[in-house]
Amino acid sequence: MIVKVTVTWGKEVFKNVEVDTAQPPVTFKTQLFSLTGVPPDRQKIMGVKGGLLKDDADWTKLGLKAGQKLMLMGSAEQVPVAPTTAVTFVEDLPEDEQDVEGYSKYGAGIKNAGNTCYMNSSLQCLFRVPELRNALQQYTPAGEVPIMQDGSHKLTVAARNLFAELDRSAAPVLPLAFLTQLRLSFPQFAEMSNTGLYKQQDAEECWTQILYSLRERLQHGQADSPVQKLFGVGLHTRLVCGETGEEIVEDNTSYALKCNISIDINLLHQGIALALKDDREKTSAVLNQLTRFEGTSVITHLPVYLTVQMMRFYYKVDVRQKAKILRKVAFPLLLDCYEFSSPELKKQLDGPRDALLAIEERRAIAKRAGGAAAADKASADKEPAAKSNGNSAAHDTPMPDAEPAAAAAPAAEAGPSASHTGHATGRYDLVAVLTHKGRSADSGHYVAWVKEEDGQWINFDDENIIPVKEADVLALAGGGDWHMANLLLYKQQVVPEEQE
């Protein structure tokens, strides 16, 4: 049962604060933490029967009524900590805070609060996006009550605080405030089983709901939200009715490309191409009835981070749950979206792609030249000193391989790379994979695999942080009961600035 109350905190008044009496009072205190910044353990709430509100109190015995006024006491400021001068050695820290392996630079693990691996893995992948972390860090909304009461605001604040904690902590983090607000904002994640435990949920659904909430709150009056700039894919869809010749054109923004999986799909780009053939049932204005429209979609705008959803789950009527397609679908470390782009977008990409190719050619030539020079030096060091009569062939013999390389260099230098510096190329590097192990979306286990800035891949399995190899990541393509990719996160390649 939801009861709306008024909470006063100093001079501030929060009206219509929702209290879910099916949840313990500590959940309500977590809501107030999102509103005021006062940690639950420092909150004193008065206005209920029996004096102060206790964490384990029974709402039914407190006589809470709609419109009731409650008073919150507590400081949102950090409690001053006495300075310490003593040196603390790693071995003197509690075992769960010791960073013996040196993995704290990659962030912290997230504790499982009971079938919450779907949320933990989503958060770890999104934490990999520094631009999103920066946008959250700068999130300071105006203090108007309607905004402060908004569910997306509360979730954004909880995400901001959680990401900050992940950034500074060496020990695994318990995401209580974020989890509580996620379940309040989206009740489907609070669904419980007959045994009284929270159910496993779909990670893709959690990922999507988090992004949609952040998109609403991080906009700050801008025309486009930072979330849309970072993750939004522009799509142009043309629908044609084969029976009547009717044509419908749609333009929209999606936050993931889909990879459909069928018996003929073995590679990621094949599944994406199949998904872009977007056939639909729509009402024909001519026939005045539902009929099939053949659809084709092309990309009109590419984001900084491209999400690809592997369409592995489908609803199986006989067992009433989301079953899983286990087929192996290989995905690349480098994804090129040029073939999926509209003609207009391809024209925008052509110049930067040529510039990037020219840079790669120059680097390859320089690398070969450097290798040849090193080999020549090593060979020269082994030769006896040149004789005065000039018989040494090492200085006189022409090197035929050098001339083609020298001739190729001017052609590679011809591209106007500087004018395209920082421009998108349509190519993307894999930076994160969210996997699922099990036979159903609503059971099994979700894990995040993240590529860090230094190139090291890390497996975030709830609170556990495990370094893995690139080959381990490529093995997540499916085909058995092992972890297999459910969501792929790619980061765009831009034309780099060349060093003089």
Q: Which of 236, 269, 423, 445 is catalytic?
A: 445
For the CA atoms of 375, 381, 383, 385, the dihedral, rounded to the nearest 10 degrees, stands at: 140
Separation of alpha carbons 376 and 444, rounded Å: 58
Which positions ≥6 away from 457 have C-beta within 8 Å? 449, 450, 451, 467, 468, 469, 470, 472, 473
CA dihedral over 194, 19, 29, 140, signed as positive or negative: positive
Separation of alpha carbons 293 and 245, rounded Å: 9
Separation of alpha carbons 253 and 211, rounded Å: 13
CA dihedral over 432, 438, 439, 444, signed as positive or negative: negative
Q: Which of 117, 125, 241, 259 is catalytic?
A: 117
Separation of alpha carbons 194 and 31, rounded Å: 27
Find tokens 């509100």 and name the residue: 53
Q: Is 241 a catalytic residue?
A: no
Q: What is the phi-psi region of residue 444: left when phi exceeds 0, alpha when psi lies from -120 to 50, beta otherwise?
A: left
Query: Helices in 309-401 by DSSP H: which ranges?
Result: 343-382
Q: Is 483 a catalytic residue?
A: no
Q: Which residues partner with 397 through β-bridges?
A: none
Q: Which residues partner with 51 through β-bridges?
A: 48
Determine the Cα angle at 338 with ends 272 and 349, to 5°. Answer: 150
Which positions ≥6 away from 60 have C-beta within 8 Å? 21
Find tokens 């600035």 and name the residue: 497
Separation of alpha carbons 277 and 294, rounded Å: 8
What is the token pair recorded at 58? 């029974």
Active site residues: 117, 445
